[in-house]
Structure 1
Amino acid sequence: MSGTIRANIQPGAKVKIVLKKDQRSGTLTSGVVKDILTKSPNHPHGIKVRLQNGDVGRVKEIN
């Protein structure tokens, strides 16, 4: 599923995000969604979320 569509992402979902500091390298961080921060129904770079460990980034993959 695409991480660019808000409807595909629910709190509790396992995802891989790219953190702001990792945008150049593209390094992905795994975690569980706590909050969805993007309000629009879609975003070309990925929906911004906060993980349960506090990391904030844009969703690239939904597991």
Structure 2
Amino acid sequence: MDGTIRKNIHPGLAVVIVKKEDQHTGKGTQGIVKDILTSKAAHPRGIKVRLESGDVGRVQHIMIS
């Protein structure tokens, strides 16, 4: 699934995000989506989410379980 399309993202989904401070390194942070922060239907750099851990970033990968 594509992390740039909002309808693919929902609370409880396991994802890898890139936080703002990690954009230059591309370091990913894995977690579970708590809130979707992007209101548009799509975003070219990834949908912005808040994880259950409190980390905020853009979805790079959706984990397949």
Q: TM-score, normalised by structure 2?
A: 0.96
Partner of 2:59: 59
Deviation at 1:35, TM superposition (A): 0.1
Alpha-carbon distance in structure 2 between the residues aligned to 1:40 and 1:19: 19
Alpha-carbon distance in structure 1 between the residues aligned to 2:52 and 2:42: 22
Deviation at 1:9, TM superposition (A): 0.4
The Cα RMSD (Å) is 0.3
Q: Which amino acid aligns with 2:45?
A: H
Deviation at 1:56, TM superposition (A): 0.1
**Structure 1 residue ranges without an equivalent (≥5):** none
3-state SS of 2:45 partner: coil
Partner of 2:32: 32
**Structure 2 residue ranges without an equivalent (≥5):** none
Deviation at 1:32, TM superposition (A): 0.1
3-state SS of 2:54 partner: coil
Q: Which amino acid aligns with 2:8?
A: N
Structure 1's consecutive aligned runs of 4 or more residues displaced over 2 angstroms after TM superposition are none
Whether 1:11 and 2:14 are equivalent positions in the alignment is: no
Q: TM-score, normalised by structure 1?
A: 0.99
